[in-house]
Amino acid sequence: MANTKLKKDDLKYFSNLINEKRKVLLSEINESKEKADEILKESTSNAIYSSHMADASSDHVELEKAYYMIARNKKFLGYLDKALVMIKDQTFGVCEECGKIISKARLEEVPHTRKCFDCKSNR
């Protein structure tokens, strides 16, 4: 049971999948950063000429959203990095509780998981 691990092909498949997901996240983080910078630039220049509170607060909401997205995506990125380490260690995809192979569908959804669906839902 201790030797249970994913096949090399499967590990490769997931490492590709995770790397693709990382790329998407990184580009989304960049986009959010650019958006935040833009809002900051605009709102400082607007503030001089306009005293519209509505504009200022909608900028604020947009800015919060952008920062929220950055934080959220960075968290996901951390998960994906963990999953990549697990692939390297060949502990990826094996439930730490029962030692069984975790289903592909679950791994595609939550690549950093260390527990199979049954063990997770029995808690």
Q: Quick check: 110 binds Zn ion (CB under 5 A)?
A: no
* Chain CA centroid to CA 24, Å: 9
DSSP for 38-82 reads HHHHHHHHHHHH---HHHHHHHHHHHHHHHHHHHHHHHHHHHHHH
Shortest Å, Cβ 13 to Zn ion: 21
Cβ(84)–Cβ(15) under 8 Å? yes
Piece of 30-38, 72-80, 83-91, 92-100 that binds Zn ion (CB under 5 A): 92-100
Radius of gyration in angstroms for the set of CA atoms belonging to the chain, rounded to a whole number: 21
Q: Quick check: 94 binds Zn ion (CB under 5 A)?
A: no
Nearer to Zn ion, 11 or 119 (CB): 119
Q: Quick check: 116 binds Zn ion (CB under 5 A)?
A: yes
Q: Quick check: 95 binds Zn ion (CB under 5 A)?
A: yes
List interacting residues with Zn ion (CB under 5 A): 95, 97-98, 116, 119
